[in-house]
């Protein structure tokens, strides 16, 4: 089943299921709004979704505005260096087994079709296409064997990143730096997964999820040994090789087989000079022909 968060014509936050472009609104089956998104209330309730669907009203696609599948996760956990080819291209001496995980600000989420806003004109920003796991039930210290039972489903995610020496939590937490969606696909619909990431239609990243250094069960188990996970929490599994800079006007797409196609545009409107000094520090990303633009920018 494919679930989505959306706003209706009255700008109310809703959750629904989508099939053949028809949306079924599940929101009215949920307990009253307590400041938590309908999606999180739906996940926390452990409902029989097929039973709810029988009586769910239909909503025309054109009367909705799509939102990030989980608009308000209590946290977004992310895996650094979790593919060997990406480790090599970044000249990293270590990978996830030495680095652990990091946090992205929940306020950085962005919906499918949204606009990634680059904050600075004198820094490099890269796309990182990733598979994201969405947690379905309270999870602490879960074993690898039991981890899959705690996953509700999967979605496409872009871990937008400023390169440099600042802390990852800064470089990856700017508003709009975590596009997600369009849908949250239940785990039962997903098999072996393959990921493609394109910028302006040109393929930059292509990988099998089977190539993860720490596969999903191990990643979820590990994260849950560090911090308690709640329904709707998001875990980004890491990016394959092929990261590269993005610029004003670019279209970035992440596609994962069985999960969907996420598409956003990039804007550098109102970008300012970066106030921090990490530009020439940190892991060294692969060179890219379009970087000339950034070099020129910094001489202004
Ligand atoms: Mn990443």
Residue 39 CA to ligand 1 center (angstroms) comes to 24
> Taking 60 as the threshold, does the pLDDT of residue 298 lie above it?
no
Which pLDDT score, from 0 to 100, does residue 33 have? 80
Which pLDDT score, from 0 to 100, does residue 300 have? 37
Residue 79 CA to ligand 1 center (angstroms) comes to 6
Could you say which DSSP state residue 79 is in? -
The answer to whether residues 198 and 111 touch, using CB atoms and an 8 Å cutoff, is no
Which pLDDT score, from 0 to 100, does residue 288 have? 79
Residue 206 CA to ligand 1 center (angstroms) comes to 14
Residue 45 CA to ligand 1 center (angstroms) comes to 30
Task: Please name the residue ranges forming H helices in the chain.
Answer: 38-45, 49-54, 84-89, 96-99, 144-147, 168-171, 216-226, 292-298
pLDDT average, residue stretch 221-246: 97
| Candidate ranges 224-228, 277-281, 284-288; pick with highest mean pLDDT | 224-228
Residue 238 CA to ligand 1 center (angstroms) comes to 5
Residue 18 CA to ligand 1 center (angstroms) comes to 28
Residue 130 CA to ligand 1 center (angstroms) comes to 7
Residue 275 CA to ligand 1 center (angstroms) comes to 23
pLDDT digits (tens, 9 = 90+) for 172-219: 999 999 999 999 999 999 999 999 999 999 999 999 999 999 999 999
Q: C-alpha distances in angstroms, 157 versus 99, 173, 181, 265, 279?
A: 21, 14, 7, 14, 25
> Taking 70 as the threshold, does the pLDDT of residue 293 lie above it?
no
Residue 236 CA to ligand 1 center (angstroms) comes to 7
The answer to whether residues 249 and 118 touch, using CB atoms and an 8 Å cutoff, is no
b/e 84-122 (16+ beta carbons within 10 angstroms → b) = eebbebbebeebbeeeebbebbbebbbbbebebbbbbbe
Residue 19 CA to ligand 1 center (angstroms) comes to 30
pLDDT average, residue stretch 272-277: 97
Cα separation, 21 vs 45, in Å, equals 25
Which pLDDT score, from 0 to 100, does residue 299 have? 40
Residue 33 CA to ligand 1 center (angstroms) comes to 33
According to DSSP, the β-strands at 115-117 and 260-267 are: parallel
Give the torsion sign (CA, 97, 242, 112, 269): positive
Residue 142 CA to ligand 1 center (angstroms) comes to 23
Tokens describing residue 70 = 């989980």
Pick from 74-78, 88-92, 225-229, 275-279: least confident: 88-92
Residue 78 CA to ligand 1 center (angstroms) comes to 6
Which pLDDT score, from 0 to 100, does residue 291 have? 65
Residue 1 CA to ligand 1 center (angstroms) comes to 26
Give the confidence band of 296 by pLDDT, cuts at 50, 70, 90.
very low
Cα separation, 265 vs 115, in Å, equals 5
According to DSSP, the β-strands at 260-267 and 151-158 are: unpaired
Residue 143 CA to ligand 1 center (angstroms) comes to 24
> Taking 90 as the threshold, does the pLDDT of residue 290 lie above it?
no
């Amino acid at each position: 089943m494919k679930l989505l968060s959306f706003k209706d014509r009255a700008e109310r936050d809703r959750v629904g299921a989508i099939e053949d472009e028809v949306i079924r609104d599940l929101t009215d089956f949920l307990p009253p709004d307590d400041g938590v998104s309908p999606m999180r209330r739906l996940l926390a309730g452990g409902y029989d979704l097929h039973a709810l669907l029988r009586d769910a009203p239909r909503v025309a696609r054109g009367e909705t505005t799509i939102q990030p599948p989980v608009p308000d996760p209590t946290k977004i956990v992310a895996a650094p260096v979790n593919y060997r080819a990406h480790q090599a291209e970044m000249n990293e001496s270590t990978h996830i087994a030495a680095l652990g995980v990091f946090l992205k600000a929940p306020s950085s989420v962005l919906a499918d079709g949204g606009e990634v806003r680059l904050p600075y004109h004198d820094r490099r920003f890269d796309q990182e296409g990733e598979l994201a796991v969405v947690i379905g039930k309270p999870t602490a210290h879960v074993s690898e064997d039991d981890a899959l039972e705690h996953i509700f489903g999967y979605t496409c995610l872009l871990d937008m990143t400023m390169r440099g020496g600042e802390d990852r939590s800064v470089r990856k937490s700017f508003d709009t730096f975590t596009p997600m969606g369009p849908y949250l696909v239940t785990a039962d619909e997903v098999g072996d997964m393959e990921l493609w990431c394109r910028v302006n239609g040109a393929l930059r990243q292509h990988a099998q999820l089977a190539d993860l250094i720490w596969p999903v069960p191990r990643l979820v188990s590990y994260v849950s040994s560090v911090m308690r996970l709640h329904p709707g929490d998001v875990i980004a599994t890491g990016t394959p090789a092929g990261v590269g800079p993005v610029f004003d006007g670019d279209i970035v797409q992440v596609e994962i087989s069985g999960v969907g196609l996420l598409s956003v545009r990039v804007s550098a409107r109102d970008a300012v000079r970066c106030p921090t000094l990490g530009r020439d520090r940190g892991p060294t990303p692969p060179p890219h022909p379009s970087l000339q633009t950034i070099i020129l920018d910094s001489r202004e």
